[in-house]
Structures are given as structure tokens and as C-alpha cells.
Structure 1
Amino acid sequence: MQDFAALLDRLILTPSRNAKLRLMAEYFRVTPDPDRGWALAALTGGLDVPSVKPAMLRALVAERIDEVLFAYSYDYVGDLAETIALVWDEGGGPTMRAAPAATNGSNIPSLSAIVETLLASSRADGPRRVAAFLDALDSDGRWALLKLVTGGLRIGVSARLAKQALADFGAEKVDGLQVNEIEELWHGVKPPYLPLFAWLEGRAEKPVSSARAPFRPVMLAQPLEEGDLPGITPDVYAAEWKWDGIRVQAVSDQGVRRLYTRTGEDIGDTFPDMLDALDFAGAIDGELLVGRRAGETIEPGSFSELQQRLNRKTVSGKLIASHPAFIRAYDCLVDGEEDVRALPFRERRERLEHLVGGSLAGRIDLSPLVAYDTTDDLMEKRSLPPVPIIEGLMLKRWDSVYEPGRPKGPWFKWKRDPYTVDAVLMYAQRGHGKRSSFYSDYTFGVWKRGEGGDELVPVGKAYFGFTDDELVEIDRFVRRNTLNRFGPVREVTHSAEVGLVLEVAFEGLNRSARHKSGVAMRFPRVSRLRWDKPPREADRIETLEALLEPWVDEAPGMN
């Protein structure tokens, strides 16, 4: 467990992608089975411990430390796992004291012992066993344990990056190994991945995935740069709209139906209505959207409407009816049982049209191609898309194969230029991980006419876009200008004369009845600190409302 704790500590303090890869590859090299397999599961988000939940941890620590003291500590540290790890009292009461404390030697539990014990525990046994493990570990080990069981690592490592490190480790024994080969196996192997590690170390043959409807690594686009424009012509590149939903891969294979995100996460349980609609044989790439019923037609809704259905373990029939899901298809990966990824896009498009045309469920349609003669035509269409849920354009070479990763040249994305607005910082909250000591999550607002005169109304929240030096500046401002505290949140001075103006960039707006301002921003981020600008000169809500005007409320529907 201590080695895993050391790995997490190093990863969170290492900004370099290549350095993170080396750290994980070395860990896989020197750590025995099954510890490294459980570590891999944690790093890729594949470890779920039902017997341990955050609410249970709060109740557990309440038996060891005064609740007010813990609340102050949590407010200062800003991270639940780190706070518990630091304040945990090993001399707790007899009802919770389930094992002697140990800080070194063989008495320290291994990663696999912890995981396998907790996976076999009930909700009733979970607290007692967690308390015993916390007693047996030092503060670093406790922190790693709590991050592990709650699934909130926040160490700057994506599932894809961890798999890349696994491929780097395996390349020493498996010639020509690429991460995509591991991606295609992934849903056919389970933690702690003993057959997978045996293959990567040259001790066994490659595992045979028995999984039906497997995930296939997605092809991604490069941002279009000015120097790429001369090569964009209708005979070389097809153009289509870039829809503002979430990229998905829908697979139907011999009665097994699955819906994956672009990173390979299976989200079928969240969208059972979409699984029911996969009445074809094959695999398609597309954009998942939700819409509104208009008779027999579904009209695409905004991304904020899609968010109502994301990240839910269960979904009610009422929500399915009010927010029906559908897929706007981009590409065909498998037609029947034939893998067509090596065919040129022109032929895959024909396969896609045939596949979608045969679907009778009415939940899959084609993303239409955009006709153009010159790049000036495309530029005009990009700047004035027909509906607000379009982010820009996708440009795909007619002769491009479906190549996993982000190759340069075959596909480009040409997003609309971001909008900007000057807003006033209103509230700040501590971040997580390496930002847990800084106020790095910011709520900002613009001016609106109220009953008593102008007032600031929140319009968004951002936690990136600024440099490390700017983070220090903002954190200092927050601490020196705090008006009120609400748990981990601080209200910051924001009058007409005193406050901090932030230039905020965002991709688009949606009308929102849930927000006092009436609008919700898409992908807001801080683009500049306006120390030179007094808060009274920040933008007004009318500026944002005007941005909604060019967009019509209706969007092309599907039958």
C-alpha cells in the first residue's frame, strides 16, 4: 500500500506527461500481482467499492474527532480524503478499534489485501474494516486508501494515459505493441488483470477477449490552423457540422448492445432508451444528444438538457420521456460483422447511410454533409451555424481510413471562435489535489437591473484558463477580500467600485430557468485578469441575452 501511496504522491506532483508515463510504467514493472492490477483498476476508474461511500467516511471520522474541529480542518485543507488522513486519531474508541496500529514492516496491509477485503465487505462491515486499515497506515497510506475507495484520485492521470503507460511497459516484451491494442482488449479483461500482465511480460499468449460488442479506439481531429486552409477543397475534404453533445460509439453485436463514450466508458445503463434503439448489426460513431418531443419528431435540445441525463446511475421513466436520447451518426466502424475501418471515409459514409437507413427505432439519424465551394463559404457557415447546438465544422478527407488517435491531416475540427465577457468574481472555493491549498474555483457574475438598482447575478463558474502565477494572485485577493463564509465557499467583495474583473471566454450559451440570470455558459474559462477595470464597467446581462438572439429555438428534427 505504501508503494501505491508513493506513486500517487509522485503523480500528483509531476506535471510532465512523459514523466507520469515513466512513473506508472516503472510501478507496473516492479510491483507484483495482484497489487499492480488493482492499482491499474484505480487509475483507470475501474474500481468500485460498494461498501465504502463518502457519507460513511464522514460518520467514521466523527467518532474519532470533534465535528467542529473537523469542519474547520476540512475548510482549510479543502479535500475530504486528505483531511481525514491528517486528523485521523489512531487511539479511537474500542468499538471502532479493530486492529493494532502499525506503521512499518509486514503489519502494513498490501494494496490487494485492502481492496479484496473491502470488496468482500458488506455496508455494515465496511466502516469497521476501513477504520482498521486507517489505523494500520501512516498519513500517506491513509490518504491513498481513501482516494482509492472513493474513486476520487484527481492526480492528473486519465484512463487513456494509464493504458498508454501499460503499453509502454509491455513494449519491452511484445513487439510493436500500441495502446490501441490494449484498448480493444480492455472490456474483455477484468481486475486485477492477471492474464493481461502475463502477456505483457511475455509469460503467456495474448488474452482472447470474449466480450461481445467491444469498444474500438476512436479517431480524433486536429484543430484547423490557418496554414491548413489552402488544402481544404470539396474534392479532398467532406464537411459536416460539429454537434454539441457527447461523442459516443454505439455497438450492436449478436444481441449485445453497448453505448461507449470516446474514452471507452460504458454508459448504457444511463441511456437504456438508446440501447433499445440500436436495432442494427455493427458499430457506429456519432454524437449523443437529447431532444424534445414534437409529435413524431425529436428536436435536438441544448447541452444543458443533455446534462440532465449524464452521470446518473439510474434514470426514471419520466426523465426518459421528457429528455429522449438519440444519436446523430458520423461514421461506420463495423457493418454487420465486417470491420470497415480500413475503408476510405467515402465508402464508410455509404455504409453508414445504409446502416442508419435500416434502423426502424427512429433514434438514429445522419449528421448531414455541408456543401461548399470555397473556404470562404465554410467560414461564413462556421460563424453563423443554423442552430445553437452546433460548435463549428468537421472536415474529413474523403480517402481517410478510421485511424485511432489524433493523426495530423485526415480530420480537422474548426470550432467557432469563443465568446468573451467581462464578469466580476463573486464566490471562490478551494480546489482539489495540488490546488487544495488555493481558492481556484470561481463563480462570477454580470450586472442586472434589480428592484434596488443594479446588482450582480451569477452567470457561470470556471476553474481553469489562468496561469499558476495568476492563481496565486487571485487566491491572495480572495483571502484579503472575504465577506462571508459558507462552508468551503467564500463570498468575495464585489461592489461597483471594489472587486476583481475576469475576462471569461466561453463556447456558447443556453437559456436556463434554473439560474437567476436566465442563461448558462458552455465551457467557461478565465482568459484574462482585468486588474485595470473597475467592476462597474463589467458587462451586463443584456450583453449575454443579445448573444442568444441570432440563434433560433427550433433545430432540425428527426423522424
Structure 2
Amino acid sequence: MIAFAELLERLTLTPGRLAKIALLRRFFETEPDPDRGIGLAALTGELSFEAAKPALIRALAESRTDPTLFAWSYDYVGDLAETTALMWPDPEPDRRRNAPVPSLAEVVDGLATTPKTQLPALVAEWLDLSTPEVRVAILKLITSTLRVGASGRLAKVALAELGGGRIAADDIEELWHGLQPPYGELFRWIEGRGPKPDPRDAPVFRPPMLAHPLEDADVAALDHALFAAEWKWDGIRVQLVATQGGRRLYSRGADDISAAFPEIVEAMRFDAVLDGELLVVRDGAVAPFADLQQRLNRKAPTARMMENYPVAVRLYDILFEAGEDLRPLPFAERRARLEAFVREEAPDRMSLSELIEVPTLAELQELRAGARAASIEGLMLKRRDSPYLPGRPKGLWWKWKRDPLNIDAVMMYAQRGHGKRSSFYSDYTFGLWRDTADGGRELVPVGKAYSGYTDAELKQLDRWIRNNTVHRFGPVREVSHAEDHGLVLEIAFDAAQLSARHKSGVAMRFPRINRLRLDKPPGEADRLETLMALVEGVAVEQ
């Protein structure tokens, strides 16, 4: 457990990607089985515990510390595990000396198998035996939020380096969903001590091919005749995997989302791996992304929700068919295979992505310019001779999104971030003006943003918020937002859609801070009607 705690601390304090990979590789090289495999599972988000939850940590902390002081400290630190670890009272020195710190495997086994009624005493005993660094690691395992700046992908890159160049991270990715912690067979293969794991017919995820944004300089050099064009629909990219071993629906990030969309999994009565876009579709019309959001991150959708937000998949590509790997084929051939597959299988809730045929680049530009009016996100351009390659190879696939929209909004509330940003107010709620019944006007919240600014601007924003806080609501700070005093933010966003979930009645897609408008008084920020005028239609015909 000590080595894992040290790894988490060093990853948190290390900014560089290559340095993080080196730390991960050293951990995998030096730690024994099964601890290194369990550490890998924790870093990749594969661990979860039925009885151990964040509420257990809070209850323990409040039983050993002053509850009011703990609440204030948690509000300041912004991280439950770190606050508890730092405030946990040290036991008698002899007790720590006479009992060993539990191993990582012992902690994970204890969290998984200990009855719920006995778990608080066990966790308290571990915390008593541990240093603050080890306490943080134990508590972060319970909260399942490591937040150390090391993604699952980075861990797989480190594993590939452990193989001395014989293995690529994508090779590991293709096996991943056919493996189980603590990954003994994976480590034996990587280290040359055993055969490559065989997932057989397991429905494993394949690394997707991604596109580069098409900039103005790229357009000037583009030979559009070499490319096939498709609409870029505003849903979420998914991979449909149906094999003899099972059926799975994966997000682009390799998350298994099958339980959230059972009607899609039920329709996957074939032997193939398909690439597509998950959308809400009603009567042949694609609904706004806000409708799809109603279904996202729900483990068990109700029958009513499935009826109100019916989902379908717009198919882009075919990767495997009946066990045959089609990825080396050029896009044009894969497209022909996909069209034949759809004709023969006629899968329910699935349709082909339309290919757009235009003779000139100028006509293609006109189509892209009209995408917003049609409530479409933009265009995809794919070289007709491109194989399906993992990652983001330059020059083969382009995404040509419509230009973003902008509004000037007033910051109203701020909250601390997580991980490296836990000491900074980095999440901002902003609002627009609207008239009130008494003839005045007020700010109404319209969205939140936590990206788009530089590190220097983050420090500037944090300092302004601390100096201009007017009220506190738990971890949230209300800042000054009067007509003559406040902070205006230029917000860029991709789309605006009606939303009953928001007080303002409108939601923004991908809002981010474009720049700080220090030159503009809050009274000159935009009105809610300005944003409402940018709302897209409820649906778009195919």
C-alpha cells in the first residue's frame, strides 16, 4: 500500500506526460503480483465496492474530529479523501510501530468482502496504522476518484513500454475487456513469460479512429475529391460489438454503456463490430443533444424514459464481420461492406450515415455553412483509401465543425475544482439579464464553464473571486454581480437548446470561456433573449 500511495502522490505532483508514464512503468516493474495488477485496476477505473462508499468516510471523520471544523476544512480543501487523511488523529506511537500497514491487495479484499456493519471499524484501523499519504490512497480507493492526472490510456502506454517495444498500447486495448484483475496473464505476456492472452469470442472494445479538426490552412490545401463526406451528427460516438461471446455497447472512451441503452443491445443480433453515432430519433428526425442527455449516465432507464427518448444509431463504419478484420481495407471498401451488411441484416434502430456527393469544394463549404440552420454539428471528411487506424492519424479523417457561437455573460457563482485545481475556484456559473415583473432586470443563470482559460487567467480569476465573494453556500461562492460591479466572461458554445431542466429554459452545448471581458461592465452583458434567439429547432429531418 505504501508503494501505491507514493505512486499516487508523485503522479499528482508530476505535470509531464512522459514523466507520468515513467512513474507508472516503474510501479509495474517493481511491485509484485497481485498488487501491481490491483493498482492497474484502480488506475483504469475497474474497481468498485458495494459497501464502501463516500458516506462511510464522512461518518468516520466526523466521529474522530469536530464535525464543524471538518465541514469547514472539507469546504476549503475540496477533496473528501485528502481532508479526512489530513485531519485524522494520529494513534499512540506504539500502535503504529507494532502493526504493519496493510498491502494494497489486503485493502481491496477487505473493501470487497467485509460486511457493511464491520467495514467502518476496519477502515478506521487501517487509517490508524497509516501515514497521511497512505490514508489518502486508501480513501481514494473507496471514493473511486483517484484524480492523479493519469488516465487508463496512460497506464496502458506504460504497460506497452514495459514490453520493450514488442507490444503497442493499442494491442493491450484490444484485449482489455477480455481480461480481469489482477491481470496475471497480461503481465506474463508483456514480460515475455507467457503467451498473448486470447479473449476468444469476448466482446472486446477496439481503439477507435479519430479525426483532426479542419482549420482554414487545411482547407486551402485540401483535395476534396480524395475524400468522402458525411454529416457530423451531434450525439455520442459508440462502438457496437456483437460476437459469439456476447454483446456490448461501448462509448468512444471504452466505457461499457450497454445497461443504459438496452434496446440497442437487444437489436445487435449479428456477428460484427460497428462504429456509429448514438442519437435520440423520433419519427425519422434527429432530436437535439439535450434529449440524449436525459439517457446518459443512467444505469437502468425506465420504460417511460425509453419511450420518451427513443435512441438509434447512425452507422459510420464496419470493423469486423463474422470474425473477419476489415480495418486494413480502404474506407471505400469498408463502406461497401457496411452497405451490404445493412441490406442483409436490416438491424433494428440502426441506419446508414448518408454520404454527401458534391462536385466542388465550394459547394461543400456551402453545405457546412448551412449545418447550423439544419441543427447538424458539421461535416466529416474521410479519405476514400484510408484504413481504419487507432488514434488520430493526420490527414486521413477531418472533422469540419460549424463555427462556435458567443455570448457575453456575468459570473454569478464559483466553486473549487478537483485534483490539481482543488485549491482554485475553477468552475463558474454565469448568467444573462432578463426583465422582472416590477420593471427592473435580474441575472438568471444559463450555464457553467470550467475550461478555456490559461493557467495565468485561472490565478487571476481565483484572486478576483476571493476578493469579491458576497455569500457562501457550502462549497459554492456567490460573487458580486451587480450592473456596475462584477466580471464579464465571453462564453463560446456549440449550440443552444430548449431545456426544462434549467431555470432559464435554455441549455448550451460545450460552453467554455473564450476570454475575460475586463473592459466590459456587467450591465452591458447580453440578455437572455439573445441566447434564446440562438436556440436550434426541436428536431431535424434526415
Pick aligned residue for 1:391 from 363, 367, 377 = 377
How far has the Cα of 1:556 moved from its partner?
2.3
Give me the whole-angstrom Cα distance separating, in 2, the residues matched to 1:438 and 1:176.
Answer: 42
Give me the whole-angstrom Cα distance separating, in 2, the residues matched to 1:211 and 1:132.
Answer: 44
| CA deviation profile, 1:220-244 (whole Å, cap 9, x unmatched) | 1111133322453453100001111
Structure 1: which 5+ runs fail to align? Answer: 93-98
* 114 and 388 in structure 1: CA distance in 2 versus 1, 3 angstrom threshold: farther
How far has the Cα of 1:397 moved from its partner?
0.5
Kept in 2: contact 1:280–1:355 (CA 8 A): no
How far has the Cα of 1:39 moved from its partner?
0.9
How far has the Cα of 1:60 moved from its partner?
2.0
Question: Are positions 1:279 and 2:273 aligned together?
Answer: no
* 394 and 101 in structure 1: CA distance in 2 versus 1, 3 angstrom threshold: farther
Give me the whole-angstrom Cα distance separating, in 1, the residues matched to 2:209 and 2:139.
Answer: 35
Question: Are positions 1:413 and 2:387 aligned together?
Answer: no
Question: Are positions 1:267 and 2:257 aligned together?
Answer: yes
**Letter paired with 1:404:** P
Give me the whole-angstrom Cα distance separating, in 1, the residues matched to 2:63 and 2:459.
Answer: 36
Sequence identity percentage: 54
Give me the whole-angstrom Cα distance separating, in 1, the residues matched to 2:200 and 2:386.
Answer: 30
**Letter paired with 1:247:** R
How far has the Cα of 1:300 moved from its partner?
2.1
The residue number in structure 2 matching 1:257 is 247
Kept in 1: contact 2:288–2:538 (CA 8 A): no
Kept in 2: contact 1:329–1:364 (CA 8 A): yes
Give me the whole-angstrom Cα distance separating, in 2, the residues matched to 1:183 and 1:123.
Answer: 35
Q: How does 1:433-452 map to 2 (within 5 A)?
A: 433-452=419-438
* 112 and 205 in structure 1: CA distance in 2 versus 1, 3 angstrom threshold: same
Give me the whole-angstrom Cα distance separating, in 2, the residues matched to 1:388 and 1:168.
Answer: 46
How far has the Cα of 1:361 moved from its partner?
5.0
Kept in 2: contact 1:303–1:389 (CA 8 A): no
The residue number in structure 2 matching 1:54 is 54
Question: Are positions 1:353 and 2:339 aligned together?
Answer: yes
Secondary structure class of the residue paired with 1:74:
helix
| CA deviation profile, 1:22-76 (whole Å, cap 9, x unmatched) | 1111211111111111111111111112221112222222211222111111111
Kept in 2: contact 1:284–1:334 (CA 8 A): yes
Give me the whole-angstrom Cα distance separating, in 2, the residues matched to 1:288 and 1:127.
Answer: 42
Q: How does 1:9-88 map to 2 (within 5 A)?
A: 9-88=9-88
**Letter paired with 1:514:** R
Give me the whole-angstrom Cα distance separating, in 1, the residues matched to 2:414 and 2:213.
Answer: 32
* 304 and 421 in structure 1: CA distance in 2 versus 1, 3 angstrom threshold: same
| CA deviation profile, 1:168-227 (whole Å, cap 9, x unmatched) | 122x2xx53111110111111111111111111111121222352221111111111333
Question: Are positions 1:547 and 2:534 aligned together?
Answer: yes
The residue number in structure 2 matching 1:214 is 204
| CA deviation profile, 1:308-367 (whole Å, cap 9, x unmatched) | 111122221221121122111100111223211111111111111122233445300111
Q: Tell me the TM-score normalized by structure 2.
A: 0.96
The residue number in structure 2 matching 1:323 is 309
Kept in 2: contact 1:387–1:554 (CA 8 A): no
Give me the whole-angstrom Cα distance separating, in 2, the residues matched to 1:260 and 1:62.
Answer: 40
The residue number in structure 2 matching 1:178 is 168
Give me the whole-angstrom Cα distance separating, in 2, the residues matched to 1:487 and 1:321.
Answer: 38
Kept in 2: contact 1:502–1:526 (CA 8 A): yes
Question: Are positions 1:487 and 2:474 aligned together?
Answer: yes
Give me the whole-angstrom Cα distance separating, in 2, the residues matched to 1:308 and 1:364.
Answer: 20
The residue number in structure 2 matching 1:372 is 358
**Letter paired with 1:281:** D
The residue number in structure 2 matching 1:456 is 443
Pick aligned residue for 1:532 from 500, 503, 519 = 519
Kept in 1: contact 2:204–2:241 (CA 8 A): yes
Secondary structure class of the residue paired with 2:533:
helix
**Letter paired with 2:381:** L
The residue number in structure 2 matching 1:95 is none
Give me the whole-angstrom Cα distance separating, in 1, the residues matched to 2:31 and 2:99.
Answer: 16
Kept in 2: contact 1:279–1:360 (CA 8 A): no
* 234 and 533 in structure 1: CA distance in 2 versus 1, 3 angstrom threshold: closer
* 263 and 211 in structure 1: CA distance in 2 versus 1, 3 angstrom threshold: farther
Give me the whole-angstrom Cα distance separating, in 2, the residues matched to 1:386 and 1:357.
Answer: 31
The residue number in structure 2 matching 1:168 is 161
Kept in 2: contact 1:159–1:263 (CA 8 A): no
Give me the whole-angstrom Cα distance separating, in 2, the residues matched to 1:439 and 1:118.
Answer: 33
Give me the whole-angstrom Cα distance separating, in 2, the residues matched to 1:355 and 1:386.
Answer: 31
Q: Tell me the TM-score normalized by structure 1.
A: 0.93
The residue number in structure 1 matching 2:126 is 133
Give me the whole-angstrom Cα distance separating, in 1, the residues matched to 2:235 and 2:111.
Answer: 37
* 352 and 491 in structure 1: CA distance in 2 versus 1, 3 angstrom threshold: same
How far has the Cα of 1:138 moved from its partner?
1.0
Give me the whole-angstrom Cα distance separating, in 2, the residues matched to 1:141 and 1:475.
Answer: 30
Give me the whole-angstrom Cα distance separating, in 1, the residues matched to 2:292 and 2:277.
Answer: 11
Secondary structure class of the residue paired with 1:188:
coil
Give me the whole-angstrom Cα distance separating, in 2, the residues matched to 1:342 and 1:388.
Answer: 34
Kept in 2: contact 1:49–1:150 (CA 8 A): no
How far has the Cα of 1:479 moved from its partner?
1.1
**Letter paired with 1:507:** D
Kept in 2: contact 1:289–1:306 (CA 8 A): yes
* Alignment RMSD (CA, Å): 1.9
How far has the Cα of 1:132 moved from its partner?
1.6
Kept in 2: contact 1:90–1:101 (CA 8 A): no
Give me the whole-angstrom Cα distance separating, in 2, the residues matched to 1:100 and 1:491.
Answer: 47
Secondary structure class of the residue paired with 1:63:
helix
How far has the Cα of 1:78 moved from its partner?
1.0
Give me the whole-angstrom Cα distance separating, in 1, the residues matched to 2:322 and 2:246.
Answer: 13
